[in-house]
Chain A
């Protein structure tokens, strides 16, 4: 009687804990454990046939299938827009300084690196929604206070690109630019410049270098003051991740690997 009560009471506890786990693998294992306890309950309810079937199917087969289907390792989900040199896709492979840093960092944590391309303007929103762990792709401005900014890995400056003949801004207004600004994906901007569409944009150095491979004679180019550093940004409540990343970048710098990476991709 007492054992039956205890085993019954255990069920909701295990199920509640298992289903509200952050990691899927833990949840699957928790539900496997739940199935085992359920089997014991069936035995105590004088239903040995059901117990045998539940043990074979619910506890063994189902758990095995889940374990086979889901990825063993977790994922480090990074959102970024493409920045040639820092983080860009060549075919299917991401390459760049930030990719190297993040790849090594993910390997250290034992995670798979998964990069998702979103427009630069949306990185902040995606992170605040909690849909990704890290933001990258030439982030140099101050972002929302709830996000955690890692240390810089490279210094940069901002460049303002305007079609010639437009209204000129006062130089006083220039430092108010808070971040890179351009419409949509960076690849769209490149296409627009190639088509000679009159677009306005505020760009960081890496993006500007990529854009300047095209003919910029019909644009006026202004270099903004206040050099900044490129950094990564961690989602709210991922402060520890940020600290680990900062420590990792420190380490790279000390060992000279960071300089190697920069030379390899940006020389």
Chain B
């Protein structure tokens, strides 16, 4: 019954802050108090009391339904974690109240989205999310931020109108917008004529927001140019919102093959671009794409463990990617550039804790066994059936390892104390899940879920992938081959969305 209050409280806080010009810190403290109570509510034993009829008790066909399921809890945890880390990160910085207000709107709409069970509600919230992140990307008003941000808005808006077409097709055939009702209709007649078109429109529309190639060619620019705290939120959290919608859609429509193919393209394409990028933030942004590949492959495998693996990996990726972006931001402040060669050259100027954070994030993202990247990847590897899925996962792993090995010289000496590290507490917050992922997963998904991570075959496989990644890195270092950057231009990205839609449709219709 009181589920709508969860997002509305953040929204209300944001509006209060802007109307009464509250100071940034007061707003942040209030936001944290709200977050803690949200978490307590969501994970309390009485949580089932929260979900109920549609919002406001209106007629079920027309009204909007919200639920607090496992997926919502998982992402709620991620949201609160990232918000906490970002709040700590910007605590000492001089931020304008506007930043904090937009942050509240962002968190509010994220929470609303993970609860929502209604297609049109999802559309509205995704648009709100687009607008808020659009404003946040260009927060520093540098021209390349403004351009990246505008490109993002144009492409996302095109995607959302494709999504709206999909909503229309669904509504015309189901007569309701609730996901449950749509699911029932699809189960009743899985070969109905409208399903491929509706599914293709919805998937293509939401893929633009979800960081999936070839739909999300705006992502590298937007995520690499935004201020560090924003990049962390966008890559760790906002991009996952598209994934949330995709998970919900995959539960309704038969999307297995499409997700597998998109996952392959996204994962491998992102890794190839990441391998040849020389800027740390840009590489991280491309890796956001490549890690989406894991999630998509997981989604395409319709087993219980794979589904949980997707949730676990989303949580893990959120934590280490945010850690990497925040540390990259501090490193930029210290040495004035995120060019990897330059960073390595001036590594003695980067504060020690920041370097430690970068190291931890690197170890987690390449999937070294005790860290959360590995623990979350293990169930996906175990659940992936068929050589194609296995091959894609292994290739993404190799690409990730090959590109992050570039950072290794950064961690060599000299280790001198330089400057102070203003935001090290935020690293600690994000390091907690990276180091303590096993108990968290156990608590969320049950004991059976963590078994693959204990399997020594999978552990060996991960190590082997790392080894091959090292080889690829050595070979690739000598070549000057770089994938074309022209793909990321506005016109090409627009055409890629349309082409992607046609391809998804063909797959759903004829395969």
Q: Do chains A and B touch in the complex (CB under 8 A)?
A: no
